[in-house]
Structure 1
């Protein structure tokens, strides 16, 4: 198990280019199973979760060719369906939550899809009902082995239908969408997620020959086609990583430029950071963050305390609430963080309190942060990363803190952030990876 050793309190400067979007690429890679033709995917981040999915695709029989450090060619013309019922798959699939999205494409193309109960971050209840209820609506039969925690769906033919999703699940929408493109007839998905990642998946599928309309809205209409062809697709920059670099700049009071951020796909992110008092400048498609010695949280017009809450797109992404919480510890003012979606994601605040932050954990979903305006800096400490987003938030806190901090279990950070220590070093951070 590896650790990071961080010497905090140093000013940083320079330019960072964000990696490809983790949450998009996991969907895109599953979509290659829908066609026997070659699919090229560019801007693929070199991170643990993505590499695990590429490995699973290879074990399924997908031909994988690495074209450059971040580009791959995939061809799913000789799929080994027996792997789905193997002990190896039960082990491999259970280690990655994103593996759930292979079920829709396999069901659409081969009439069956199986998955062990997937892993991922331990951030609270993350149910799969939306996925399987959608497959059942399309005509699939569902089975579940309680002893082995193994899910399966099978169908001789999927039939288009209308469905209202019980929640606007991004992965659920993606999975049902991929199952629908080869179904017979027309499918309408109401309350569909409409994040940029879903829009990108729709654009990719349409370029392969699918007929999807309503892209960008919460009503997707899919006219089934008999087959899909190959394509080339480029993954968007990762909006969560962009928000993380904003956090790095702000907490270290540094000047930083984030390149090629795809401003039109950032949604509420710039606005939320500005409400925290942070100066962000749009320069072309870049974000420029000037050195800021202080930033003040805006109250509402009536003077009441600002609340930052997550919501389905175009609301604020839950994946950045941990970053916002850390930034708020050194702001001037008070903010209420309301994490609606996951009941365990705020439990890392005890580590920030150990560092000297003034945070009141009201309940599993809400925390009040009283900013210290850099008048009392965070103290270095030893801590453990519980999940990807809490891990990067603790790393940002450590970069701000005076003294040397140790973060254990950094494999959690590696799951979502490509080569993070080298990129931090390139802008002046004092960070070292220690392999136990």
Structure 2
């Protein structure tokens, strides 16, 4: 188990480039299974979850070539479907949440898709019902082996249909779209997710020959085609990492420039951080955060009531940044409520912030009230363990702002979502050291 040793209390300075988007990568990489032709993907982040998926694709028989840093060529012209029913696949698929998204393209192109119950973050339930109900609506037969937690769908030919998703699941929408592009007839998906990453997937599929309309809305119409061709695609910058660096700058009173952020794809993220009092300046396609020497003050509502920040499906605020927002609020001037609606275990990391001296009242599994210190009392260094990707980086930000030396164990969770984070932080002045696990 790896460990970070962090000497906090230092101001940082410089420019930092966000990595390619993790959540987009997990969708886009699965889409290469839809064609026998070459697909080139650029700006792929070098992180554990993405590398695991690339390794899984290789075992499926996909030809993978690394062209440059972050750039790969994929060709799925000799897919080994027997691997899907092997004991090795049942083990490989368990360790990666994103592995569920190979099912849609495999079902659409080959008429069968299997997956073991995927693992991932321990942040609450993530139902797979939306995925499989969508496949069933398209005409697939569903089977589930309870003994080894193995799911499967099969169909001779998928047929387009109308469906209303029970929730606007991003991965569920992506999976159903990838199956429907090769279905016979027209598929209409209502209550579809419309996150930028899903839009990116749809645009890529259209370049490959798919016929998807309504991209960017919650009503997608897909006219099935016989086959798809190759293409080249570039990942968006990771909006979650961009939000993480905004929070880091504020908490450490640092002047940072986050470069090439694709402002038009950030949605409400800048405005939500501004509600916490953070000064966010747009400089071309960069975000500049000046040093908040005098702190930052939370906005109240017009009637004076306490600010509530909550997550919602796009274009609402992403749940992946609520942990960062909560951490930022611990040193704000004023108070706010953080309401995590989508995952019932994601706020349980606040006990570690409380141990560091933060004033947080955990009202229930979904809501926390944060009373900011206004930097009049700094967080105290401590030893802690990262429970998941986003909580892990939130604790890392807290440690960088705290006085003294903190230890964070289980940093593999952070590495799952953030590329070479210690090296990149050291480049802007952070005192962080990676210790080998015993």
TM over 0.5: yes
Aligned to 2:95: 95
Aligned to 1:381: 382
Aligned to 1:236: 236
SS in structure 2 of the partner of residue 374 of structure 1 = coil
Which runs of structure 2 are paired with 1:75-224 in the superposition (5 Å)?
75-224=75-224
SS in structure 2 of the partner of residue 260 of structure 1 = coil
For residues 90 and 55 of structure 1, what CA distance do their matches in structure 2 show?
14
- Structure 1 residue 272 displacement after superposition: 0.4
SS in structure 2 of the partner of residue 113 of structure 1 = strand
For residues 346 and 43 of structure 1, what CA distance do their matches in structure 2 show?
31
Aligned to 2:419: 418
For residues 153 and 420 of structure 1, what CA distance do their matches in structure 2 show?
38
Aligned to 2:252: 252
For residues 144 and 25 of structure 2, what CA distance do their matches in structure 1 show?
28
- Structure 1 residue 287 displacement after superposition: 0.1
Aligned to 2:348: 347
- Structure 1 residue 9 displacement after superposition: 0.2
Q: After TM superposition, what 4+ stretches of structure 1 lie above 6 angstroms from structure 2?
A: none
Output one character per residue of 1:148-168: Cα deviation in whole Å (capped at 9) or x when no partner: 000000000000000000000
For residues 231 and 387 of structure 1, what CA distance do their matches in structure 2 show?
34
For residues 435 and 246 of structure 1, what CA distance do their matches in structure 2 show?
29
- Structure 1 residue 145 displacement after superposition: 0.2
Aligned to 1:265: 265
For residues 87 and 335 of structure 1, what CA distance do their matches in structure 2 show?
49
Does residue 53 of structure 2 align to residue 53 of structure 1? Answer: yes
Output one character per residue of 1:153-187: Cα deviation in whole Å (capped at 9) or x when no partner: 00000000000000000000000000000000000
For residues 127 and 299 of structure 2, what CA distance do their matches in structure 1 show?
36
Does residue 331 of structure 2 align to residue 335 of structure 1? Answer: no
SS in structure 2 of the partner of residue 204 of structure 1 = helix
Aligned to 2:275: 275
For residues 90 and 8 of structure 1, what CA distance do their matches in structure 2 show?
42
Output one character per residue of 1:162-219: Cα deviation in whole Å (capped at 9) or x when no partner: 0000000000000000000000000000000000000000000000000000000000
Residue-pair matches, total: 436
Aligned to 2:9: 9
For residues 274 and 434 of structure 1, what CA distance do their matches in structure 2 show?
35
- Structure 1 residue 78 displacement after superposition: 0.2
For residues 334 and 120 of structure 2, what CA distance do their matches in structure 1 show?
34
Aligned to 1:289: 289
- Structure 1 residue 247 displacement after superposition: 1.0
SS in structure 2 of the partner of residue 74 of structure 1 = strand
SS in structure 2 of the partner of residue 375 of structure 1 = coil
For residues 119 and 53 of structure 2, what CA distance do their matches in structure 1 show?
12
- Structure 1 residue 86 displacement after superposition: 0.6
- Structure 1 residue 116 displacement after superposition: 0.1
SS in structure 2 of the partner of residue 346 of structure 1 = coil
SS in structure 2 of the partner of residue 123 of structure 1 = coil
Aligned to 1:409: 410
Unaligned runs of 5+ in 1: none
Aligned to 1:23: 23
SS in structure 1 of the partner of residue 233 of structure 2 = strand
For residues 49 and 29 of structure 1, what CA distance do their matches in structure 2 show?
12
- Structure 1 residue 69 displacement after superposition: 1.4
Output one character per residue of 1:26-58: Cα deviation in whole Å (capped at 9) or x when no partner: 000000000000000000000000000000000
SS in structure 2 of the partner of residue 297 of structure 1 = coil
What's the Cα RMSD here?
Answer: 0.3
Does residue 24 of structure 2 align to residue 42 of structure 1? Answer: no
- Structure 1 residue 314 displacement after superposition: 0.2
For residues 43 and 347 of structure 1, what CA distance do their matches in structure 2 show?
33
SS in structure 2 of the partner of residue 114 of structure 1 = strand
Output one character per residue of 1:316-355: Cα deviation in whole Å (capped at 9) or x when no partner: 0000000000000000000000000000000000000000
Aligned to 1:429: 430
For residues 50 and 324 of structure 2, what CA distance do their matches in structure 1 show?
22
Q: TM-score, normalised by structure 1?
A: 1.00
For residues 321 and 87 of structure 2, what CA distance do their matches in structure 1 show?
36
- Structure 1 residue 260 displacement after superposition: 0.3
